[in-house]
Structure 1
Amino acid sequence: MTGQQLTVVLTKAGKLKIRYPAAQVADDGDRISVRAPWAADGVRDFGFVRFEPGDVFVEHFWRTRWYAVKEVWTADGVLKGWYCDVTRPALVQSGEILIEDLDLDLWVSADGSSVLRLDEDEFAASGLATSDPEAAAQAVRALDALDDQARTPAGLAALLG
């Protein structure tokens, strides 16, 4: 149901990272999409992009894929780019979208000129390759697939079409 209020719950290494309200935009049974304002306090400057109050995120979570893709928009409707989180497949239940962050991320600028693989050092240090080798392999495959898709002429927008 479009417009339904949901709560996105993001965990990392078994601990709550953030939870925030979001409005459902679509749900086709596999991909659920929501719209939410920037949920953290203040500005987060990554050097290649700034997330700040007023930014709007249109977030796409899949029940069968090992990633989430977040379109990042300014308050006045200019696309900044796509922030991709490598995660376990989303679990949607009782008004919540439950996401487990697996450390790997990808940033793609709106014009496609910049594709950055992020946090590979955190992923290596997480110990996931030892504690859950299959999940680690899925995570690496997901990052590679996102990276490959981002570098095609259609880019990540083709995933969201």
Structure 2
Amino acid sequence: MSANSSETPGSPDTPGPREIPEPPEVSGSLEIVLVKYGRTKISYPAELLADDGTRVTVRAPWAGDAVRDFGFVRFEQGDVFTEYYWRDRWYAVKEVRDAEGVLKGWYCDITRPATVSGGELIVEDLDLDLWRSADGATVLRLDEDEFAASGLATTDPAAATAAENALDELERLAREGGFEALLA
């Protein structure tokens, strides 16, 4: 509004407050499809909690048939994963709780940005992972040897750089207090 204008806020000539549309209500389920080297590594059903057009949040029980003991954490029947996927970021963050709801920590996959189509959320695993324990005392970069052996740096250097940058970003967040702001 110019100094000489006779317009007043809220007058018909002045736009009022912008209406910000609410994200659509979501419910139902999605099939989570994790692809590695062009093949489906695992797929499992998950309850759709939210989708704001950029980030998709789902909840699913541990999808493995047996206990998976990594040494720093055990995933087992009864564990519940609240999983956060982005359409514009190169990672997924999975909050892991045991059957009683006690937080175990966060397991992060470095992936290409997620796509959602036909009831499926599809991500391509790029081998790199990160673990942050519930108390924040343990932050581990995982599978860097698998990533190097994958040859991605040669076959798709831009994707390899994006993957390495995503791992660095997650590690920084994990060491600076966790993922609370990212997942809020």
Both structures adopt the same fold (TM-score exceeding 0.5):
yes
Aligned pairs for 1:46-57 within 5 A? 46-57=70-81
CA distance in 2 between partners of 1:125 and 1:136 (Å): 12
Partner of 1:156: 179
Q: Can you list the C-alpha shifts for 1:78-131, whole angstroms capped at 9, x where unaligned?
A: 010000000000000110000100000000000100000000000000000000
| Other structure's SS at 2:66 match | coil
Residue 27 (structure 2) pairs with residue 3 (structure 1): yes
Extract structure 1 runs of 4+ deviating beyond 3 A.
Answer: none
Partner of 2:137: 113
CA distance in 1 between partners of 2:138 and 2:66 (Å): 25
Residue 122 (structure 2) pairs with residue 98 (structure 1): yes
* Native 8 Å contact 1:25 1:34 kept in 2: yes
* Native 8 Å contact 1:7 1:97 kept in 2: yes
Greater RCO structure (CA 8 Å; 6+ sep): 1
CA distance in 2 between partners of 1:25 and 1:107 (Å): 23
Partner of 2:8: none
Equivalent pairs: percent with the same residue? 67
Q: 1:43 aligns with which of 53, 67, 72?
A: 67
| Other structure's SS at 1:146 match | helix
Q: Which amino acid aligns with 2:87?
A: R
CA distance in 2 between partners of 1:157 and 1:121 (Å): 29
Q: Which amino acid aligns with 2:181?
A: A
Q: Which amino acid aligns with 1:11?
A: V
CA distance in 1 between partners of 2:53 and 2:130 (Å): 25
Q: Which amino acid aligns with 1:3?
A: S
Aligned pairs for 1:80-95 within 5 A? 80-95=104-119
TM-score (norm 2): 0.86
Aligned pairs for 1:68-87 within 5 A? 68-87=92-111
Residue 165 (structure 2) pairs with residue 141 (structure 1): yes
Ranges in structure 2 where 5+ consecutive residues have no aligned partner = 1-24
What's the offset of the Cα at 1:156? 1.2
Of structures 1 and 2, the larger Rg is shown by: 2
The count of corresponding residues between Structure 1 and Structure 2 is 160
Ranges in structure 1 where 5+ consecutive residues have no aligned partner = none
TM-score (norm 1): 0.98
Q: Which amino acid aligns with 1:122?
A: E
